[in-house]
Amino acid sequence: MRSKLCGRGAFICVMGVCVAGCQSKAGTGALVGGAGGAAAGAAIGSVSHARAGEGALIGAAVGALGGALIGHSMDKADEQRDQRNSYAEHDYDRRHASTLGETVTKADVIKWTQRGVHDEVIIDRVERSRTVFHLAAADENELRDNGVSESVIHAMEATARR
């Protein structure tokens, strides 16, 4: 009876950790790493020293730590990407009214691209501005070298046909 109760308690704890861990990549990485490490540790421990339990515990600990570290770095990268995109969209909303009818420069387009502003937003800014771009081959190459997409370059070129 006692072993059944302990087994159920362990199952409930594992399920709780699974639900909580899946809320972030660090938690998910710890769970996946721990499970993989436990399996590998048990296999190695049973083959080499007939100590599958100890191998599983050591493997789970090492796997969980490694998975958590990798997942944490992925969470940080996601936060930075979201922050860049949020800033880019906020920047667009804040400046949108002021760029309507105003000039846009090639430097503005490069700056927006490097900040991560979406192509559709940059194209909208270019189309709504009073700027007429006459891009030489050197200008196009500079834009490409700075990561500006072909669709944005085409939108800039299209202003010359206004």
10 confidence band (pLDDT: 50, 70, 90): very low
When mean pLDDT is compared across 19-23, 80-84, 144-148, the lowest value belongs to 19-23
Residues contacting 129, CB < 8 A, separation 6+: 99, 100, 101, 102, 103, 104, 159
| HSE, side-chain direction, 13 A CA sphere, residue 139 | 13
76 vs 59, higher pLDDT? 76
- What end-to-end distance do the CA atoms of the chain give, in Å? 84
Structure tokens at 115: 């900040």
Give the residue among 131, 88, 93, 80 at the shortest CA–CA distance from 113: 88
Rounded Cα distance, 37 and 33, in Å: 6
pLDDT at 90 (0 to 100):
52
pLDDT at 124 (0 to 100):
93
pLDDT single digits (tens) 95-128: 544 445 578 999 999 999 999 999 999 999 999 9
Q: Is 111 helix (H, G, I), strand (E, B) or coil?
A: helix
Q: Residue 87: is its pLDDT beyond 70? A: no
Domain spans of the chain? 2-80, 100-161
pLDDT at 105 (0 to 100):
95
Predicted TM-score of the model (pTM): 0.43
Amino acid identity at 37: G
Rounded Cα distance, 26 and 66, in Å: 10
5 confidence band (pLDDT: 50, 70, 90): very low
| HSE, side-chain direction, 13 A CA sphere, residue 107 | 1
The pLDDT mean for the chain works out to 77
SS3 for 22-66, per residue? CCCHHHHHHHHHHHHHHHHHHHHHHHHCCCHHHHHHHHHHHHHHH
